[in-house]
A = this chain, B = another copy of it.
């Protein structure tokens, strides 16, 4: 059955039925606006738009996976402020010739991810489209006990930590670009495809690193790009220790297969959705402990410097040398 056969109102009912009931006090889908009860902490809000064939391809992922990913990348923005995600709105633009099953699967994926992060769908919009699918998600959260943790605020001497592994999402993207699709029976392929298709938002890491961090962001546009953002104000810079970049074996293997440097995937590949935190040296122990509590690897990958610019260092013997004045993005445009 196609959307044009059932109409917008029935489609909204279907979407509604697939979602958990919002908790008491909330007003959800169906009224002019949603109502979210007072928070003494204020609210965090972020909006991310995904456009077919630019941010996702229908032959690369199922609608359910797209739904999961759309929630994760938005929730990641709340994690990147050290906050807790609470509610979500979705605007969906779809051609009326699209199968209703497709929309149901999308919202099943959305519901699955909402459940994972403890978030409720409170509203949104469903409209037509001439050809492409566009999905725009707004996520609302509340900051941690010390307020929102911004991108700015890093100071020279701060240690740079990242959660998880870097470059895997780009390795997955590279595979997909070369016609390898999900699911693959090769373990390494599966691992990097998963990283690209269904990334996880690091909410617990953000909540726990937030209180110690001078600056916090998620790595959606690549590590170097995010470091440029973090060091953009205040005339500071950063040195990355190349040898310490957390790159897993699957990503190494995929980079080698495509005659690329895994380090480049880690430095410039986007969509890792890991967190990047600048933490004062006195708090390094607290951050290291987060690994045991969350099960997510926390790696110290560099340091904030007085000297502006983002640079790379490598270890020779015990001493680190800055190997180039400025990192040049020699990454092929995706």
Residues of chain A having any CB pair with chain B under 8 Å: 25, 27, 30-51, 53-55, 76-78, 80-81, 83, 89-93, 122-125, 127-132, 134, 136, 138-141, 143, 147-148, 150-152, 217-218
Given contacts A27-B148, A27-B150, A148-B27, is CB(A45)–CB(B51) below 8 Å? no
Docked-complex contact A53 and B148, CB < 8 angstroms: no
Measured between beta carbons, the chain B residues less than 8 angstroms from A148 are: 27, 31, 33, 35
> In the assembly, how many copies of this chain are there?
2
Task: Tell whether, in the assembled complex, residue A48 and residue B81 are in contact, meaning their CB atoms are under 8 Å apart.
Answer: no
Asked whether A33 lies within 8 Å of B46 as measured between CB atoms, the reply is yes
Given contacts A36-B42, A150-B31, contact A51 B141 (CB under 8 A): no
Q: From known contacts A51-B129, A136-B49, A138-B138, infer whether A38 and B35 are also in contact, taking CB-CB under 8 Å.
A: no
CA distance A32 to B81 in the complex (A): 7
A42 proximity list for chain B (CB < 8 A): 25, 35-38
CB-contact partner of A45 in B123, B127, B147, under 8 A: B123
Give Cα A218–Cα B80 distance, bound, in whole angstroms.
36
Residues of B close to A132: CB separation below 8 A? 129-132
25 sample A-B contacts, Cβ–Cβ < 8 Å, listed by A number:
A25-B42, A32-B76, A32-B77, A32-B78, A32-B80, A32-B81, A32-B151, A33-B44, A35-B43, A35-B143, A35-B147, A36-B43, A37-B42, A38-B42, A43-B43, A43-B140, A47-B124, A51-B130, A54-B128, A54-B130, A91-B136, A93-B134, A125-B136, A131-B131, A131-B132
In the complex, what residues of B have CB within 8 A of residue A50's CB?
127
- Shortest beta-carbon distance, A27 to chain B, in Å? 6
A129 touches B54 (CB 8 A): yes
- Taking a contact as CB atoms under 8 Å apart, the answer to whether A32 and B49 are in contact is no
Q: Given the complex of chains A and B, what is the CA–CA distance between A138 and B36 in angstroms?
A: 14
Contact, CB under 8 Å: B130 / A53: yes
CB contacts (< 8 Å) of A90 on chain B: these are 47
- A89 proximity list for chain B (CB < 8 A): 45-47, 138
Q: Which residues from chain B contact A46 at a C-beta distance below 8 Å?
A: 32-34, 89, 123
C-alpha gap A46/B86 in the complex (Å): 15
- Measured in the bound complex, the distance between the Cα atoms of B141 and A150 in whole Å is 23
Q: Could you tell me the distance between the alpha carbons of A83 and B123 in the complex, rounded to whole angstroms? A: 17
Contact A33 B80, CB 8 Å, known A54-B127, A91-B49, A123-B47: yes
Say yes or no: A81-B125 contact (C-beta < 8 A), given A54-B130, A91-B49: no
Given A54-B130, A128-B54, A91 and B47 contact (CB-CB distance below 8 Å): yes
Question: Could you say which of B32, B48, B124, B140 contacts A125, with CB atoms under 8 Å apart?
Answer: B48
**Minimum-distance CB pairs A-B, first 10:** A32-B80, A33-B46, A49-B91, A136-B136, A33-B44, A38-B42, A32-B77, A35-B148, A47-B89, A49-B125
A34 x B45 contact (CB < 8 A): yes
CB–CB A45/B54 < 8 A: no
With a cutoff of 8 Å between Cβ atoms, the chain B residues found around residue A124 in the complex are 47
Question: Please, how many angstroms separate the alpha-carbon atoms of A217 and B196 in the complex?
Answer: 42
The interface residues of chain B lying within 8 Å CB-to-CB of A123 are: 45-47
Knowing A27-B150, A129-B54, A217-B32, the reply to whether A45 touches B140 (Cβ < 8 A) is yes
